[in-house]
Structure 1
């Protein structure tokens, strides 16, 4: 189901808690909402649709990916950039890393690890920040 985007910064600052298999509907809603906003959005975190759960949906090379309980375990080569967000007005400066390794659970709650670089790494970093209550 397509959900409204949360714009309440106080809610977005609340760190999320780990997700479980019972939270799969939230992931479905994230994907639906991401697809609905695909012209101006490449990633969403569960708190952006009202759920303080560690779930993100990201568009990586035109493939929509759900990550449960993602954790960035490596990051290399910092750089300064500006980002926008559906939950916030305008663009804001932030520091990102050119390459990362993220560990997460897939839709079957099987542990995965993925090395990402460039824009894909930036998307995941932005969404993981959301889960931690970090707003750009």
Structure 2
């Protein structure tokens, strides 16, 4: 189901709680909501749709990847960039890493580890920041 986008910065600044298998039903809402905003959005955290759980979705190429409890376990090549956000107006400067490795649970609740670079890495870092209550 397509959900409304939360724009209240006080709500967005709350740190998400860990996801459990009981939260797997949140994935379809994230997928539907991201698809509804595909013209202006490439990633989303659950708190952006009003659910303070550590869950994100990122469009990597043509795939929507839902990550439960994502953690960056390695990062390298820092750089400065400017990002926008569906929950915020305008663009803001931020520090990102060109290469990251992320550990997470997939929609089958299997632990996965992937390495990402460039824009895909930037998307995931942005959404993990959301889960940590960090607003760019």
Matches within 5 A, 1:4-19: 4-19=4-19
Rounded Cα–Cα distance in structure 2 between residues aligned with 1:93 and 1:71: 22
Rounded Cα–Cα distance in structure 2 between residues aligned with 1:43 and 1:109: 20
Rounded Cα–Cα distance in structure 2 between residues aligned with 1:74 and 1:110: 20
Aligned to 2:110: 110
Rounded Cα–Cα distance in structure 1 between residues aligned with 2:58 and 2:40: 13
Structure 2 length as normaliser, TM-score? 0.99
Q: Indicate the RMSD between aligned Cα atoms, in angstroms.
A: 0.5
Rounded Cα–Cα distance in structure 2 between residues aligned with 1:117 and 1:18: 25
Matches within 5 A, 1:56-135: 56-135=56-135
In structure 2, runs of 5+ residues without a counterpart are none
Partner SS state of residue 31, structure 1: helix
Structure 1 length as normaliser, TM-score? 0.99
Partner SS state of residue 33, structure 1: helix
Partner SS state of residue 128, structure 1: helix
Rounded Cα–Cα distance in structure 1 between residues aligned with 2:37 and 2:19: 23
Matches within 5 A, 1:17-56: 17-56=17-56
Count residues with an aligned counterpart: 136
